[in-house]
Amino acid sequence: MVMNRPLLKSICSLRHYSASSANVLKTGGILKQARTFSDSDIADYSKLTHDFNPLHFDLKCAKQAGFTEFPVPGMLVASLFPRIIACHFPGAVYVKQELKFRAPVFVGDKVVGEVQAKNIRQIKEIFLVKFVTTCSKDGEVVVIGGEAMAILPTLSIKQP
């Protein structure tokens, strides 16, 4: 399925933040986006993935697991990483992602996803980039950490 460009542009521009003012990705360069997840995001995610873990819908189950409210699915939060990369580098191919889930995210929490270029290697006309990936909430609590690898068609950063 191919998305039309106006829809893709609106998706990529939602709550965009970038710490980089340069137009070319370099080692150490950071790209960020923020998002606040809602109950409907969890419902949509569950319908799409067929992941109906009661932890996200049954308060009794969530409390038995040690939560005070429904946690947002970790993979939904981690979806910020490919979103950030694809919005800035259309045509990027996601190759690998390692994740460490460190703290829960709840509906209404403002989460900031960040990808930082750790290593850039040119292979002919493309670029293989390793990123350090982090999601945090409340400006300091790391909820997800890890690394990603993507093939980029260019190092020119597209501003969504």
Residues listed for the chain: 160
Ranges of each domain in the chain: 5-37+73-152
Q: Which of 119, 156, 120 is nearest to 24 (CA)?
A: 156
CATH of domain 5-37+73-152: 3.10.129.10
Answer yes or no: are the C-beta atoms of 116 and 110 closer than 8 Å: no
Predicted local confidence at residue 139, as pLDDT? 82
Averaged in consecutive runs of 10 residues, what is the pLDDT profile of the chain (160 residues)?
Answer: 44 41 87 96 96 93 94 98 96 97 96 98 97 94 98 93
Predicted local confidence at residue 85, as pLDDT? 97
CA distance 51 to 44: 10
Predicted local confidence at residue 68, as pLDDT? 93
Predicted local confidence at residue 114, as pLDDT? 98
Predicted local confidence at residue 22, as pLDDT? 57
18 Rama sector, left if φ>0, alpha if ψ -120 to 50, beta otherwise: beta
Neighbours of 123 (CB within 10 A): 8
pTM for the whole structure: 0.84
